[in-house]
Structure 1
Amino acid sequence: MIFEDMDRIVFAGDSVTDMGSAQPVGEGLFENLGTGYVRIIDNLLAACYPERKIRVTNSGISGNTSRDLLARFQRDVVDLKPDWVSICIGINDVWRQFDSPAIPDEQVMPEEYEQNVEQMILQVKGKVKGIFLLSPYYMEPNREDAMRSRMDEYVAVCARLAQKHGCIFVDFQQMYEDYCKIRHSTFIAWDRVHPNRVGATLMARAFLEKCEFDYNHGNGEVH
């Protein structure tokens, strides 16, 4: 497993990262980490690797676009001196184009999105052990759907930036597309965006698959 004892992982993002976490930065006991994929990742790290003390920090804020996250990235990510950084942003960049079409100043187009995410990467590149780039998504398997088609452009930006800068890419869009071939998206999200506990578990599993995570590590024995 790539995370070592006393590593700190900072998860930056919007509402799907936030999920009710303490603001502006959540960590520690109770619901400070929120109730989404960040909480489940922390649970699994502690359950399967009890000998490694790993500090998990939730820097997600509901409603954020990449523009919003970039504006607070220094305070809520860089200044925390993380060992690992995870960035999951872009859903609101796309969503505002469809739920608020008459308010263009709240919309972030693909060109600006790419610039914003790349600036975040560059702020921590070379200062941390690794950067995770988690794709935005829309739980709609029909790729001809207008919002799904637009979202795919932003997913492609993430894939391109991850390759360019050596980030670990986690394709949540593909993961949800595969799952929705079996179960309808309403099973995991009423609005096709905000996951319930099943959706959050899928996200946590997709993330940990990129971390050389072993669910059977130690078979419950502390090393």
Structure 2
Amino acid sequence: MKLKGTLLFIGDSITESGRWEDAEGIGNGYVRVIHDYLAHRDPEIFLNILNKGVGGDRITDLAARWEKDVLQYNPTVVSISIGINDVWRQLDSPEKKAVLPDEFIHLYADLLKQLKDKTGASIILMEPTILQEDLYSEGNRKLKPYVEGVKMLAEKFDAVLVPTHEAFCNYLQYENRKIMTTDGVHMNSIGNMLMAKTWLKAVLTE
């Protein structure tokens, strides 16, 4: 995929990752790693990178701010990472109305249709990462239909699929692996590097 114009990242706290405190608004997470790699790789290409991650967001929250934080910018490329909180809230806040897989996929599809119809942007869909660094955790079991939904939507909307969940699951199988998160969800520098590496490989080979 050719990256030029405005590349907009949107998602939850994993995407936000310090953007409010950063003078550039990029943050210190995987978006920063991608930003810096692309700036070094293609310094002659104008690429305006925007980070619109907001901590705690579920797909319902993305829907509420889609016009303000995505469509109004008329981006060239949009990269979306969402789904972790849709599952996590089922575990840590069971009193909240759950966003189950069918609703998640339905709302996600509507946002992608709006994006295609109103901007014509190229789309990059990132699989939700992990919930705890344990392949068999309850969170990771519940996450599977959301990951499958993202794969289906990537095919339906001709989007680039970034297999971040697969990459994390593969890494978890190494006996000498390093810790990738600070709390089972939010990335440390190793987790951010894995996300960025997986994104770059998927996007730059398209």
Within 5 Å, give how 1:42-57 maps onto structure 2: 42-57=35-50
In 2, Cα distance between the equivalents of 1:137 and 1:191? Answer: 13
Q: What is the root-mean-square deviation in Å for CA atoms of aligned residues? A: 2.0
Q: Please point out which of 202, 216, 222 is paired with 2:194.
A: 202
Paired residue for 1:113? 104
In 2, Cα distance between the equivalents of 1:154 and 1:109? Answer: 9
Displacement of 1:90 after TM fit? 0.7
In 2, Cα distance between the equivalents of 1:144 and 1:192? Answer: 13
Q: How many aligned residue pairs are there?
A: 204
Deviations 1:19-44 (A, max 9, x none): 02139xxxxx7452111111111100
In 2, Cα distance between the equivalents of 1:38 and 1:142? Answer: 25
In 2, Cα distance between the equivalents of 1:139 and 1:130? Answer: 28
In 2, Cα distance between the equivalents of 1:21 and 1:128? Answer: 26
Displacement of 1:197 after TM fit? 1.2
Q: Please point out which of 80, 87, 98 is paired with 2:91.
A: 98
Look up the equivalent residue of 1:121 and give its one-letter code. Answer: L
Displacement of 1:116 after TM fit? 1.4
Look up the equivalent residue of 1:9 and give its one-letter code. Answer: L
Q: Do the aligned partners of residues 54 and 183 (structure 1) sit closer, same or farther apart at CA in structure 2, a change above 3 Å counting?
A: farther
Q: Please point out which of 134, 143, 151 is paired with 2:143.
A: 151
Percent identity over the alignment is: 33
TM-score of the aligned structures, taking structure 1 as reference length: 0.85
Paired residue for 1:173? 165
Q: Do the aligned partners of residues 186 and 99 (structure 1) sit closer, same or farther apart at CA in structure 2, a change above 3 Å counting?
A: farther
Structure 1 runs of 4+ with >6 Å offset: none
3-state SS in 1 of match to 2:63 = helix
Paired residue for 1:8? 6
In 2, Cα distance between the equivalents of 1:210 and 1:188? Answer: 20
Q: What are structure 1's unaligned runs of at least 5 residues?
A: 24-28, 214-223
In 2, Cα distance between the equivalents of 1:112 and 1:133? Answer: 17
Higher Rg of the two aligned structures: 1
Deviations 1:62-121 (A, max 9, x none): 0011000111011000101100011111100000101112x132x211111111111110
In 1, Cα distance between the equivalents of 2:148 and 2:198? Answer: 18
Look up the equivalent residue of 1:18 and give its one-letter code. Answer: E
Contact kept in structure 1, 2:133 and 2:184, CA below 8 Å: no
Moved more, 136-145 or 41-50: 136-145
Contact kept in structure 2, 1:136 and 1:173, CA below 8 Å: yes
Paired residue for 1:66? 59
Paired residue for 2:33? 40
3-state SS in 2 of match to 1:10 = strand
Displacement of 1:12 after TM fit? 0.8
Contact kept in structure 2, 1:85 and 1:128, CA below 8 Å: no
In 2, Cα distance between the equivalents of 1:146 and 1:184? Answer: 23
TM-score of the aligned structures, taking structure 2 as reference length: 0.91
Which has the larger share of helix? 2
In 2, Cα distance between the equivalents of 1:204 and 1:183? Answer: 22
Paired residue for 1:217? none
Contact kept in structure 1, 2:25 and 2:50, CA below 8 Å: no
Moved more, 120-129 or 33-42: 120-129
Displacement of 1:212 after TM fit? 2.3
In 1, Cα distance between the equivalents of 2:177 and 2:145? Answer: 21
